[in-house]
Amino acid sequence: MQAWVIGNWKQNPATSHDVDLLLNNLLTTIDAKEQANTERSSSRCQLMVAPSCIHLAAVSARLAGSSILSAAQDVSAHSASVGAYTGDCSAQQIADAGATWTILGHSERRQYHSESHDTLLQKVTHALTQGLGVVFCIGETQAQYDDKQTLDVIDTQLSVIKEVITTQPDLISSLSDRLIIAYEPVWAIGTGKVPTVSEVSQTHQHIKQTITGFAESLKVMSVLYGGSVNADNADSFAADPMIDGALVGGASLKVESFLAIANAFSRAKD
Ligand code: PGA
């Protein structure tokens, strides 16, 4: 299975100038490494970056023709296209800006924007019907982890996907290519704390089994791990067959660490 390493830039960098610097550095470093033929081959690890909405069109234009995909970090729950929804960006606008994917259900959206099951159901449906791929984020809080509720929490969060499949059966055939699950324990995001590889592996196995159980024709999905992935721990996650890639926050803002993570997955999934 192809690996995925996705950079979630969140509300970074601060200026479009800094976005240009980061992107130029990323593209020139990849070019140099590929020419020297010493490191990653794009065919083994698909890279994607998710800039903030204001930078999405510029980043997508810069990445057009490169091996890196661009993604939004969210889409409006209210409409696939236009409408009177101040402050929102529709799935159609995201696609028109040049993105082919969107992250949805990130724990920071769930926490700071109270994203509910129904909100996420609308978002996922709008994104998929508009032809966008979806990186759907799930994961438990520290208290839920301590209470050993991880799998219950995940099952509840995955019920959004089950409902999409039930209500939009025509989307099923494209889901294996256009749906990625990112398992991100909330307590591991930006904290430097990580679960053991074996814990992540077991949780990923549960996620894969749960989703393939939603519909007979569904193939196994890619399931990524996210939460304090860095250049030092990437190899251990990449070595596990249940971990198909990484959703990377902080370490994606530095080209060196982002590409080190990508190289770890390229090597492991060779
Ligand atoms: P982190 O963030 O890598 O900085 O922990 C991951 C994420 O929030 O997707």
Q: Whose CA is nearest to atom 7 of ligand 1?
A: 249
**pLDDT value of residue 219:** 85
Write out the H or E segment, with its range, that includes residue 141.
none
Is the CB of residue 60 less than 8 Å from the CB of residue 98? Answer: yes
Q: What is the Å distance from ligand 1's center to 190 Cα?
A: 5
**pLDDT value of residue 217:** 84
Is the CB of residue 81 less than 8 Å from the CB of residue 92? Answer: yes
Average pLDDT (85-91) is 97
Rounded to the nearest angstrom, the gap between the alpha carbon of residue 125 and the centroid of all alpha carbons in its chain is 17
**pLDDT value of residue 33:** 85
**pLDDT value of residue 38:** 58
The answer to whether residue 32 is domain-embedded is no
34 flagged as catalytic = no
* pLDDT above 60 for 42: no
**pLDDT value of residue 104:** 98
The answer to whether residue 27 is domain-embedded is no
Predicted structure pTM score: 0.96
pLDDT category of residue 176 using cuts at 50, 70 and 90: confident
* pLDDT above 60 for 43: no
The answer to whether residue 40 is domain-embedded is no
* Residue 80: both structure tokens together: 């696939």
* pLDDT above 60 for 166: yes
Report d(CA 107, CA 105) in Å as an integer. Answer: 6
Report d(CA 264, CA 218) in Å as an integer. Answer: 28
From residue 188, how far is each of 139, 218, 265 by CA, in Å? 10, 30, 20
**pLDDT value of residue 39:** 53
Least confident of 25-39, 103-117, 187-201, 214-228: 25-39
DSSP conformation class of 188: G
139: left (phi over 0), alpha (psi -120 to 50) or beta: left
Number of H helices, E strands in the chain: 11, 8
**pLDDT value of residue 218:** 86
The answer to whether residue 39 is domain-embedded is no
Q: What is the Å distance from ligand 1's center to 214 Cα?
A: 28
Report d(CA 266, CA 244) in Å as an integer. Answer: 10
Q: Peptide bond preceding 13: is omega within 30 degrees of 0, i.e. cis?
A: yes
**pLDDT value of residue 239:** 97
The answer to whether residue 244 is domain-embedded is yes
Q: What is the mean pLDDT of the chain?
A: 95
Report d(CA 5, CA 202) in Å as an integer. Answer: 20
Average pLDDT (88-109) is 98
Report d(CA 187, CA 146) in Å as an integer. Answer: 10
**Quick one: which atom of ligand 1 is closest to the CA of 247?**
9
Domain residues for 58? 3-10+46-268
78 flagged as catalytic = no
The answer to whether residue 106 is domain-embedded is yes
The answer to whether residue 253 is domain-embedded is yes
Write out the H or E segment, with its range, that includes residue 165.
helix 150-167
CATH number for position 260: 3.20.20.70
CB-based pocket (< 6 A), ligand 1: 8, 184, 189-190, 226-229, 247-251
Whole-number percent of the chain with pLDDT over 90: 88
Total number of domains constituting the chain: 1
